[in-house]
Amino acid sequence: MKQQCRILLIDDHKLLMEGVRSLISTRKDMMVAGMAGSGEEGLRLAARTQPHIVIMDISMPGMNGVECTRALRNICPDARVIVYTMHADQRFLLELFQAGIAGHVLKEDAPSVLLTAISEVYEGKNFFSHSDACAPMLALLEQRPAGTQEEGVSKLSRREKEIFIMLADGQGLRTIAEKLHISLKTVEAHKYNICNKLQTSSLSELTKMALRSGLISI
């Protein structure tokens, strides 16, 4: 018989946590091992309860969901994280995926969606309730940059990295020159050096590399 799934809730909205606890209590195969109102408190509880699943919000006082997910890797490496949030945009998605989340559910989704997410993640699968929005991020993470490209980004000078980010963000050479108060020829020279170090001449590839490195967001 499979072990009952231990779940830790981390969210500063107490009423919402009580609602999630009531929802989980309807399932005999699940139990709430603890509830915390901040990331720091959640980490302390995680160390004590060693949950299978951690359900947490992104925006919390003090440590946010991204930072808490990263810290959990050291405290209970086998725990899997489901982000439960009101954020439908992609501001935090890349960082969360890089931190290793296994699920992402919106608070506006039906309660049954959260229960499904818990079951799927406990089985070792990933679950994203709005997969269309997550697909670009997942694709980027699956296409890891080659070692030469990773090394290239680290070798960019301060000015080259600045221009690299602006190019990846879709800004034209003339716009970059005006913003940085340098000549167009200087920008072109920097672009040549950047593409040479990163071994690509494709602007779309520059954008992908910047996204993977967390230098820009969609």
Q: DSSP class of residue 46?
A: H
Domain that holds residue 187: 147-212
CB 25 within 8 A of CB 35: no
CATH number of the domain residue 163 falls in: 1.10.10.10
- pTM of this structure: 0.63
Q: DSSP class of residue 101?
A: -
Domain tally, the chain: 2
Domain C-terminal end among 86, 107, 142: 142
126 and 161 co-located in one domain: no
Residue among 60, 63, 64, 104 nearest 81 (CA): 104
Question: Which one has a higher pLDDT value, 4 or 138?
Answer: 4
- Say if 72 falls within a structural domain: yes
Assess whether pLDDT exceeds 80 at residue 101. Answer: yes
Print burial letters for 63-92: b (CB count within 10 Å at least 16), e (below 16). bbbbbbbbbbeebbeebbbbbbbebeeeeb
Say what percent of the chain tops pLDDT 90: 40
CB 206 within 8 A of CB 167: yes
